[in-house]
Amino acid sequence: MSGRPTDDGVRVFRLPDLGEGLTSAEIVGWLVQPGSAVAADQPVVEVETAKAVVEIPAPYAGTVMACHGAPGETLDVGDPLITIGTAASADGRTPDGQVLVGGGVAQPEPARRRRKRVIGAERTLPRVPADPIGTRRIRLTGAARTLAEKVTRSHRELPTATTWVDVDATDVLRVRDELAGTGRRPSLLAMLAYLCVQALRRYPELNATVDGNGTDIVRVVPVHLSVAVQTDTALTVPVLRDAHARGVEELYAELARLVAAARAGTLRPADVGGGTFTLNNYGRYGVDGAAPLLNHPEGGMLGVGRVHPRPWVVGGTVVARQITQLALTFDHRLCDGRTAAGFLRFVADAVERPHEHFGLDDLPAWST
């Protein structure tokens, strides 16, 4: 998407492909302005997609000559994003007439021409009927609009089913606490991510998607685990790349980085898109279960409900245990109910017998 330099060293960088079928992005805010000096790989703008707010870096060093698009404006992939001068132009002016360095004045558009253009634009605006009294219209923009389009597509194209099971999480929480004595304390979500990857190894049918024509199932060998993260502004889905090749500690560290970046709005384009399966911890909001829409085009999602004390039968005696609900939503074209149940039962059994997967004697390696 980088433009070739002109004779005076001016290059136009266009909105790059942000992955996973995303064709546009909304500008959130510029981190530079015309006249700013930028280094290669320096973030220059924040944009919002259906996946997240991400920072886009400059591909080369130079001086900013123009920022194309104002905050709130949507650009398509391939549209001019920023113009950078890698060498000063002959008269020191930017394409819009602004002086880049030194004194001088801008060359404003003649008022008559500007007024004529604005009036002409007003004449072409469609009339919007007034809303009924007592209602308020909220336009879907940016991530909200793209998310609406994506969930609509998911509901329309993916025939899903959901199966769930209640699970005793008492022992896995105890193991998590025991790990603190070794200098490690992975989150419950990181431990579930590890178990999810092990289950996908045994049931690769769910680490797959159906192609756009609906004629072929495409199974993916690596596991790129998407993780739903709710921020103050939107639901984002960063991706744990190559989760199948990571141990629990590494999963925990990368997950912590992604969650922090998502909430700070500093996710990189490489951090989103391309997931093969989603882990969704909606239990942090106090709900037991859900049957969410799949993250199109992925074919499966493991949901985790809240962990809370409930009466549970252990050895014929009713005792208080820490119970959670695991739910698997899947594209029914990928597998039948038996395979889905096998996947879910594997994760549930691993949660209830965690020492078989997180044995303290094996902690130094924790390899996959």
CATH number of residue 213's parent domain: 3.30.559.10
Please indicate, yes or no, whether residues 86 and 184 belong to a single structural domain of this protein: no
In the structure, what pLDDT confidence band is assigned to residue 348 with cuts at 50, 70 and 90? very high
Shared domain check, 91 and 30: yes
The Cα–Cα gap between 234 and 328 comes to 23
- Residue 368 covered by a domain: no
Q: What is the CATH number of the domain that holds 40?
A: 2.40.50.100
Same domain, 219 and 352: yes
Overall number of domains in the chain: 2
Q: Give the relative orientation of helices 188-202 and 337-352 as an angle to the nearest 10 degrees.
A: 140
Last residue of one domain, picked from the residues 108, 133, 159: 108
Same domain, yes or no: 59 and 178: no
Residues 89, 164, single domain; the answer is no
Q: Which structural domain range is residue 197 located in? A: 150-362
pLDDT over threshold 50, residue 102: no
Of 119-123, 141-145, 171-175, which has the strongest mean pLDDT? Answer: 171-175
* 116 found inside a domain: no
CA atoms within 13 A on the CB side of 172: 26
Q: Is the dihedral of CA 184, 187, 191, 197 positive or negative?
A: negative
Span 288-300, pLDDT tens digits: 999 989 999 999 9
Indicate if 160 and 230 belong to the same structural domain. Answer: yes
73 and 160 belong to one structural domain: no
156 and 280 together in one domain: yes
- SS3 (DSSP) at 102: coil
Has residue 124 been placed in a domain? Answer: no
Structural tokens at position 143:
């991530």
Q: Is residue 273 included in any domain, yes or no?
A: yes
Please indicate, yes or no, whether residues 232 and 344 belong to a single structural domain of this protein. Answer: yes
Instruction: Name the pLDDT band for 195 (thresholds 50, 70, 90).
Output: very high
Q: What is the largest CA-CA distance in the chain?
A: 88
DSSP 3-state of 123 = helix
101 shares a domain with 26: yes
For 349-361, the pLDDT digits (tens) are 999 999 888 865 4
In terms of domains, do 96 and 178 share one?
Answer: no
Residue 306 falls within a domain, yes or no? yes
Q: Identify the domain boundary among 75, 108, 141.
A: 108
84 lies in some domain: yes
Query: What residues are annotated to the active site?
Result: 332, 336
Structure tokens belonging to residue 239: 């991706």
In angstroms, the CA 87 to CA 101 distance is: 12
pTM of the model: 0.68
The residue out of 45, 76, 108 marking a domain boundary is: 108
Q: Are residues 175 and 97 in the same domain?
A: no
> How far apart are alpha carbons 123 and 284 in whole angstroms?
51
Cα–Cα distance measured from residue 301 to residue 207, given in angstroms and rounded to the nearest whole number: 10
pLDDT over 50 at 100, yes or no: no
Q: Is the pLDDT of residue 97 over 50?
A: no
Q: Is 142 inside a domain boundary?
A: no
Residue 134 lies in a domain: no
Who contacts 182 (Cβ-Cβ below 8 Å, separation ≥6)?
Answer: 360, 363
Gap between the Cα atoms of 232 and 242, Å rounded:
28
